Amino acid sequence: MSIVRLEQVQREIGDFVILDHVDAAISAGDRIGIVGPNGAGKTTLLRLIAGIDEPDGGTVHRKRALTIAMLSQEAHVDAAFIGAPSLRQAVRSGAARLEEMELTMRRLEQEGHVTEPEYEQIQHEFEVKDGYSLDQRVEAALSGLGFERTDWDRPPVNLSGGEQTRAALARLLLSDPDLLMLDEPTNHLDLGAMEWLEEHLGRRHGSLIVASHDRAFLDATVTRVWELRDRRLTSFRGAYSAYSRQREERDVRAVEEAEDRAGEIAREKELIQQYRHQRKHAKMHEHEARLEALQPLEKRHSDARLRLPTAPLAGGTAARSYESVIRAESLVVGYRAPASATPGAATPAPATTPIARVPWLELRRGDRVGIVGPNGAGKTTLLRTIAGELRPLDGSLDLGKNVQLTYLAQLRDAPIPGATVLDALLAELPLTAAAARGHLARFLFRGDEVLKEVSKLSGGERSRLELALMFLLPANLLLLDEPTNHLDIPAREALEAFMDTTDATLLIVSHDRRLLEKSCDSLWVVDDGLAVPFEGGYRAWRAAVADGWTVKAAAEREASRLHGGRSRAPEPRRPAIAVADSRPKVAAKGPGSATSSAKSEKAPAVARLSKDLYRRRKAQIDEELVRLAERKQQLESALGDPSVHGNFVELRRVTGDLATVNEALAAAEEAWLELEEAAP
C-alpha cells in the first residue's frame, strides 16, 4: 500500500521547468535513493513529498496521519533546538512523544494512579516504542555521529554549522517517523559516522528516501533508485551498483535506438523524394506519414559530462620526480599562534598547537595514497604542511627533487568581490578569451556561465572551478583535500577516470569510500594524535580495524622495527636519500682526493651515529641500492630490445629513465660512503 503517491507532478521556477509530469509511489518499508546531476531537482522533489512546497501541476497524495521528517543539506535548526541547555537535551527532544508519555507516567505515579487503565495504556505504548532505552539511544546516536562525551553537555548554540547539522540528524533519527527523508546526509560525517548511520538505517522499519552522491552509502542503505534526468523520473530496482549497470545498458540501447531511428528517417526521406519524382503521390504521402511518426529522439541535456584534460592548459609536461617524493620523520604538524610583540620587549616564541605526530611516512613516485581518519584528527593539517601552507612544528619533512605539486584545498579562500569565473581563470594564467572559454567548457561552464560571479557559485560550481584552476600548470604531485565535495556522481566518475590514467603521484584526503577503494593503493591513517601508513586499500583497512588494528599499535610496531623498540627524541631535519640537492654535506674522502690528503689532519671529526640509527640508515641505503641496481638492469635490457630502438618516443623515455636512475644510484652510493664514515 502506498503511503505517498505523486501524479503528474510539475514544478517550475520562473520559465524553467524542473520536474515535468512525474509519477511515482512510495510504499511502507521502501528504501529509495534519489540520484541525478546537480540541479536535476532532487531537493525539489523531497520538498514536494514532505509538503514544504506545493507542485505547480499535478497532485501529491499522502496517507492520513503519516509522519514525515526531512533533513536538509544544511539543516535549519529551530529556536527550541538552539535554545536547549545541552546537546543531549536537544537531541532527546526529537522523541517528543516519548518525553510527553514519560512526564504523564511520572505525574500519574506521583498521584498514585499506577493501577488505573490510563497508566497501563500509556506504559504499554511507552514500552512498545522502546521508551525505557531512550537515554541509551540518545547517547548511541551522539557517539555514532562523532560527538565526544565532553560535547554532550555543550549548548547547541556553541556548535559549528556542521556539528549542528549532525546533531539535527541525531534528533531526526530519535523521532523515528513513518517516512524519513535525508538530503546529502553524509556531507558532514567522517567514515566512522557514515558506517554507524548505515547500520542504524539498516535496522529501521519505516520508509526511507535518501538523495545522495555517495555511491557507497546508497549501496548500503537503499533497495530502489529513482533517477532524475531531463525533468523526468525513472525507477530502477536494486541498490546503486545495480542501477549503475542498468543505466549503462539503457544508455547503450538509447544510442543504438537513436542510430536506428536516424537510419530509418534517412530511408523515409529518400523514398519520399523518389516517389515525388515518380509522381506517385499516394506512396509519397504514405511515407510522409511514416516520417512524421519517426521523430528524432530528444537529446539528453544532462549527458554533458565533466571532461578532465589530459595535459595542462599552459602546455608542457611535468618533470620526472625522483623516486622519493615525500619523506617525513619524527614530524609534528599543527599550528603556530602569532606572537604579540610588545614595544621594547623581547619577542616571545610563538605558542604551538600540535595536532598529529608522524613517526615515519614516505610517498614514492607513482604512489596513490589516501589519507583517512575521523574529523578533526589532523588530515587537512598534515596535507597543508606538506603543501607548504603550514610550517612543521618539529621533525623532518623533505620533498624530493623535481617535485612539482598542485594543492586543491578543501577550505577555499574567499573570492574577490565581483570576480567572474572567467576572471578567476585569467588571473591565474594569461590566456586568450577563446582558450579560457574552451578550458572552462570542459568543466561545464559554457556560454554566459563563464560570466557568473564566483561569490554566487553553488558548491558544485565552485568545486568545478577549483578543478579547472588545478589543470592550468603541469604537476607530478597532486595534493587533493576532499576533491569530490559537492560534485555529482558523473563528475566524481570523471575524476576517478582521470586518476586511473594520470602518471602523477596522488595524496588524497577523502571521505568518499568508492574513490578511496578505486583510486588508492594504500592509506595514511590519522587518529589519536598519530599518522601511520597502512599497506592496503580502504576495505582491507576496515577489515583490519574490525580485527583490532589501531593507529597506536601500528605506531608501536613501526617504532620497534625502526628503533629496536626504544623511543627517542626527534632528530634534526635529515633529507631523503637520493635527493641530489639536499644530501648531507660531508667532505668526500679517498685516495684520489688531493684536498682530502692535504687537509686530512685539519678536517673536523665526523660525528658518530648511534648503533640503532646507523643500522637503520644502512638498511635504508642498502635497500635503495638494490632497488636502483635492479631498475638499472631492467632499463639496460630494454635498450637492447629492437622494438625500443625502432620507437623514438619509447627510446627517449627509456634513456631518460636510465639517466635518472644512474644519478640516483650515484647519490645513494655517496650517501653509503658518508654513512660508513659516521659508523659507531
pLDDT band at 198 (very low <50, low <70, confident <90, very high): very high
Query: 302, 491 in Cβ contact below 8 A?
Result: no
Residue in 99, 130, 34 with CA at minimum distance from that of residue 73:
34
> CA–CA separation, 610 vs 630, rounded Å?
30
Residue-wise pLDDT for 466-515, tens only, equals 888 888 888 899 999 999 888 888 889 888 989 988 889 999 999 999 99
Residue-wise pLDDT for 57-87, tens only, equals 999 999 999 999 998 876 566 788 888 899 9
> Over the chain, what is the mean pLDDT?
82
Task: Tell me the one-letter amino acid at 446.
Answer: R
C-alpha separations of 351 from 338, 457, 500 in Å: 7, 37, 42
What HEC string does 124-174 produce? HHHHHCCHHHHHHHHHHHHHHCCCCHHHCCCCHHHCCHHHHHHHHHHHHHH
C-alpha cell at 653: 623515455
> CA–CA separation, 355 vs 370, rounded Å?
19
C-alpha separations of 70 from 31, 53, 220, 515 in Å: 14, 13, 20, 28
C-alpha separations of 157 from 82, 83, 153 in Å: 5, 7, 12
Residue-wise pLDDT for 147-195, tens only, equals 988 889 999 888 877 788 889 999 999 998 999 999 999 888 888 899 9
Q: Which residue has the cell 514525515?
A: 68
- Looking at residue 74, what is its pLDDT? 65
| Cα-Cα-Cα-Cα dihedral sign, residues 545, 546, 552, 556 | negative
pLDDT band at 429 (very low <50, low <70, confident <90, very high): confident
Between residues 590 and 123, which one has the greater pLDDT? 123
Average pLDDT (224-244) is 92
Query: 334, 357 in Cβ contact below 8 A?
Result: no
Residue in 378, 396, 563, 409 with CA at minimum distance from that of residue 485:
409
Tell me if residue 627 falls in helix, strand or coil. helix
Between residues 416 and 86, which one has the greater pLDDT? 86
DSSP string across 21-58: EEEEEEETT-EEEEE-STTSSHHHHHHHHHTSS--SEE
Residue in 384, 190, 404 with CA at minimum distance from that of residue 318:
404
Burial class (CB in 10 A: 0-12, 13-18, 19+), 546: exposed
Backbone angles phi, psi at 127, to 5 degrees: -70, -40
Give the residues across from 354 on adjacent strands: 334
Q: End-to-end CA distance of the chain: give it in Å, rounded.
A: 81
Average pLDDT (463-467) is 87
> CA–CA separation, 438 vs 445, rounded Å?
9
Residue 106: CA count within 13 A, CB half-sphere = 7
C-alpha cell at 19: 520536474
- Looking at residue 44, what is its pLDDT? 92
| Cα-Cα-Cα-Cα dihedral sign, residues 82, 511, 394, 564 | positive
> CA–CA separation, 129 vs 127, rounded Å?
5
- pLDDT above 60 for 40: yes
> CA–CA separation, 14 vs 450, rounded Å?
22
- pLDDT above 60 for 300: no
C-alpha cell at 210: 535518501
- pLDDT above 50 for 587: no
Average pLDDT (224-246) is 92
- pLDDT above 70 for 580: no
